[in-house]
Amino acid sequence: MRIVFMGTPSFAVPSLQALVEKGHDLAAVVTQPDRPKGRGKKEAPPPVKELARSYKLPVFQPLRIRDEDFIELLRGFAPEVIAVVAFGRILPPDILSIPRYGCVNVHASLLPSYRGAAPIHWAVINGEKETGVTTMYIDEGLDTGDMILQQAVQIDDQDNVGIVHDRLAVLGARLLVETIDLIAHGKAPRIRQPDSASYAPLLKAEDELIVWDRPARDINNHIRGMNPWPGARTSLFGKVLKIWGAVVKDVGETTGQPGQVLYSGREGITVCTGAGRINITELQLQGAKRLSVDDFLRGKPVPAGTVLGSPDLVD
């Protein structure tokens, strides 16, 4: 089948690779422009562009997808399907109408739950026990199109966003190939989404901040849901402290101020929360490397009684 592929980050890479390996005719790959990356802020290509180049596929990086010249370019490819995986922009009607069999999307949630830009993060932050992938026809709404295929995966208690992301990227690639095959044989279903939708908006800076008066289990979910990006943060000795790993010690009532360090040693840094205690196992002080708690404490003791997040963390 003749396909135009639209995608940008690493989540989309397995899907593009699967379509190529399946033998589909990839007429073009559309991705976001190169962006500054790393400490040197040197422009770097998106992961999808790097893979497309390795396959010698034509790559296009429009600044504006509503530009008429770009839309005419897409029409010229005469795609039967436009496959969209984490492209990062909403397609206008002029693009949706181009392919013979429509535009299909791989979305990293069990729709209609977690429509929006950050479904994996919010599923982990909210303590969900399962998530999944849905393939769907794209319409003009935000992830509101008719569903084609859907499959669930389990979220284990210590899974972070990175682990779930990689699991769903592989699953998404498989479901996309199956979806394209169904469309090619005229067997793809159209399943209307239920009305009971929830949303997963883009993460904001304030979403990173740990609220210590929340229950220990919620805080641990928050930490997992911010790892490996952008990181759950608090403050320590006037500097930003990112917490990358933790375990819940207990979920009952505790004495002490939320955010107060109750114990600091080889087994971790135990912190009081609004309900229960949490044990920090991996952390990173502003300007320093990520470290295990043992390595961290050798260079920066954190005495019992220290209160994290107080009083000088600036958003």
Q: Indicate which CATH number applies to the domain containing 275.
A: 3.10.25.10
What are phi and psi for residue 196, nearest 5 degrees? -85, 70
How confident is the model at residue 252, as a pLDDT? 84
Cβ 225 vs Cβ 122: under 8 Å: yes
The two structure tokens encoding residue 278: 């949490």
Question: Structurally, how many domains does the chain consist of?
Answer: 2
At residue 312, does pLDDT exceed 80? no
Shared-domain flag, residues 125 and 263: no
My answer on whether 30 and 77 are in the same domain is: yes
- Average pLDDT (232-248) is 97
Note down the domain range covering 251. Answer: 205-299
Q: Tens of pLDDT along 161-176?
A: 999 999 999 999 999 9
**What was the pLDDT predicted at 314?**
42
pLDDT of residue 311: 59
Residue whose C-alpha is closest to residue 130's, from 102, 109, 107: 109
Provide the pLDDT for residue 315: 41
pLDDT band of 41, cuts 50, 70, 90: confident
Tens digits of residue pLDDT in 167-204: 999 999 999 999 999 999 999 999 999 999 999 999 99
Identify the pLDDT of residue 66: 96
> 98 with 247, same domain?
no
pTM to 2 decimals?
0.95
48 and 157 fall within a common domain: yes
**Whole-number pLDDT of residue 42:** 86
* 12 contacts 88 by C-beta, under 8 angstroms: no
pLDDT confidence band for 267 (50 / 70 / 90): confident
- Residues 105, 7, single domain; the answer is yes
- Rounded mean pLDDT of the chain? 95
* Mean pLDDT value of segment 8-28: 98
- Cβ atoms < 10 Å from Cβ of 42: 9
pLDDT score at 52: 98
Q: Is the pLDDT of residue 305 over 80?
A: yes
Quick one: pLDDT at residue 40? 74
Query: How far is 186 from 85, CA to CA, in rounded Å?
Result: 22
